[in-house]
Amino acid sequence: MQSANVLLKKIVRSSVLPFAAQHGMKKDLFPLSRTLSLSLCLKQDNSGTPSEKLDLDAWKKVLKSGLQEEVSETVAEHKELSTLAAARETLEMWRLAGRSVPENISEEQLKTFMECPSKSAKKKYLKYLHLKELYKKNDKRKMDEKRERKLEAQKEASETDETKKNSLVCLWANAMDKAYSWRAAQAMIFGQPLVFDMSYEKDMSVREVANAVRQIVFSEGCNRRSVDPFHVHFCNLKDDSLYHKEFIKHYRGAWDKLLITVTDRCYTDIFPKDKLVYLTADSPKVMKTFDHDKIYIVGSMVDKSIKTGVSLARAKRLGLETAALPLEKYLLWNSGAKNLTLDQMMHILLTLKDTGDWKAALEFVPKRKYCGFVSKPVHELKKTLNLINTLKLGKRQEEVRRQFAKNYSKKLMQK
């Protein structure tokens, strides 16, 4: 019996089922055979001959099926959606449609989104959030990987090695901090003042203020780590201003312990006017050397829209001397605005203070903005520049010039 069953199964598998069915099967085998035959038929139906017609609308059935139950719910909910919730839903749909939209959005961000004045502003804001989210996610992933690697390394280390004997190990960071603080404290007493002018809040958007504060935090950091720091002053900083809020966000508790001078007074009240120099890219005067007796002022402004002459206007109003970095003199400028970020400014000023070397200082100008350092006399450079220009514009300009010369001589002859 058993052997017969095995045989039968084999027969069934090799799809000679009709034959087996014809030849008087045992009753208990029937259900099995029936299901088998059914599945067989299905299989044939689906993929048998390629010439057979495809059900092109099958996808509609798939999508509609299994959803009928949910429909009633959604319809009921359909009506009252608050505007915020509706916006959230729209965002979700945009995300599904593949636009750059953040996955998670907070209530506050959603409100900012709704308050954007135009469609393009909305789009821009969403893209910004989206990118921010991406960066955050990437950072988190990297952190996790790092942690895992660290754990593995630790495991290996614990297996192989006992503790090392080293007296400096754990206190390194702490000791550095102390040394930096000591230097900064020295600078508070003896250092050359450097002023950040915090009076541009009304000229900036919220995001520009946030960016400016970030740049200032960077500059403060690199000042602290330098050999001979400036005595940094934040002037015109009002207590409840946006700047102040952003600073607190960045520094938290450390804000009150920073070794810098923060004041809501103007620099003209603190320092003698004739010592102040306002650094601004719009200044007609170009800085020749770094003067250790002067007090330089940097405007804490990030200007994404084009507002020329804002800081120059400020210096004019207060009757201060102004200066611009000699970028043209030392660099072959390529593209980009001549206003630098605040941390770049800080790096440049620190290097100038320590070395007085313009070349070393201007290394901190972003490389994309210039082609190289000026090495030849200026008139030679101009020649090459002209050459480049004529090559770029083709020979047209030259031709035009020649034409002029020709006409000119003709006119002279006529006279």
Partner 1 sequence: VQPPEKPLQAEEWNRLRESFQSPEVFEEVMFNSMVRCNSPIDVAKSLLTHVAKSNGDIAYHLLLKYLALCVQQGQTSEIRDVYEIMKIRFRILESGAYNLLIKGLSNSDQWRMGLTLLEEVKKIMIPSRTNYESCIKAASRHQEMNLAFELYHEMLAKDVVPTLDVLQAFFDFTRGMKGAELQKELFGILLYLRDNQIYPHKTFMRSIKLWFESIPGGNWRGHLTNIKDSGQCPVCNHQLEDSELTEEEYNNLRERIIRDVIHGTDTFRKTSPQEFEAFQTFVENRLPFDIVIDGLNVSHIKPRRLQCENLFDAVNCLAKENARLLVLGRKHMLINSSNWKREVMKEMQNKADFFFAENISEDDAFLLYATLRSGKHCKFVTRDFLRDHKACLSDSLTRHLFRKWQLIYRVNSKKMFLSLFIQQPAFSYDCVVQTTGDTWHIPYKDFFEEKYSYQVPRKWLCIQQQ
Distance of closest approach, residue 67 Cβ to partner 1, in angstroms: 6
Strand 321-323 versus strand 295-299 pairing type: unpaired
Alpha-carbon gap, residue 302 to 309, rounded angstroms: 13
Distance of closest approach, residue 64 Cβ to partner 1, in angstroms: 7
For residue 331, which phi and psi values (nearest 5 degrees)?
Answer: -120, 145
Q: Give whichever of 93 and 175 is closer to partner 1, judged by the CB atom.
A: 93
Determine the angle formed by the axes of helices 396-414 and 378-393, rounding to 10 degrees. Answer: 100
Distance of closest approach, residue 46 Cβ to partner 1, in angstroms: 8
Q: Token digits for 46?
A: 């689906």
Say which residue the tokens 């007609």 belong to: 284
CA dihedral 342, 348, 351, 357 (to 10 degrees): -170
Distance of closest approach, residue 399 Cβ to partner 1, in angstroms: 15
Closest listed residue to residue 206, CA positions, set 252, 249, 267, 255:
249
Alpha-carbon gap, residue 210 to 233, rounded angstroms: 19
Q: Could you tell me how far CA 83 lies from the centroid of its own chain?
A: 30
Distance of closest approach, residue 400 Cβ to partner 1, in angstroms: 10
Q: Give whichever of 90 and 375 is closer to partner 1, judged by the CB atom.
A: 90
Distance of closest approach, residue 297 Cβ to partner 1, in angstroms: 16
Q: Give whichever of 328 and 354 is closer to partner 1, judged by the CB atom.
A: 328
Q: Give whichever of 57 and 256 is closer to partner 1, judged by the CB atom.
A: 57
Distance of closest approach, residue 9 Cβ to partner 1, in angstroms: 29
331 forms bridges with which residues in the sheet? 373
Count other Cβ atoms within 10 Å, centred on residue 342. Answer: 24
Q: Token digits for 289?
A: 């050397």
Can you give the binding site for partner 1, defined by CB under 8 A?
Answer: 47, 50, 54-60, 62-64, 67, 71, 74, 77-78, 81, 86-87, 89-90, 93-94, 96-99, 119, 203, 284, 308-310, 312-314, 316-317, 401, 404, 407-408, 411
Helical H segments across 101-241, by residue range:
107-115, 119-160, 172-190, 206-225
Distance of closest approach, residue 221 Cβ to partner 1, in angstroms: 32
Q: Give whichever of 54 and 168 is closer to partner 1, judged by the CB atom.
A: 54
Distance of closest approach, residue 115 Cβ to partner 1, in angstroms: 14
Q: Token digits for 282?
A: 């719009």
Spatial CB neighbours of 346, under 8 Å, sequence gap ≥ 6:
194, 218, 219, 222, 223, 298
**Which strands make up the sheet holding 295-299, listed edge to edge?**
261-262, 231-235, 193-197, 295-299, 276-279, 321-323
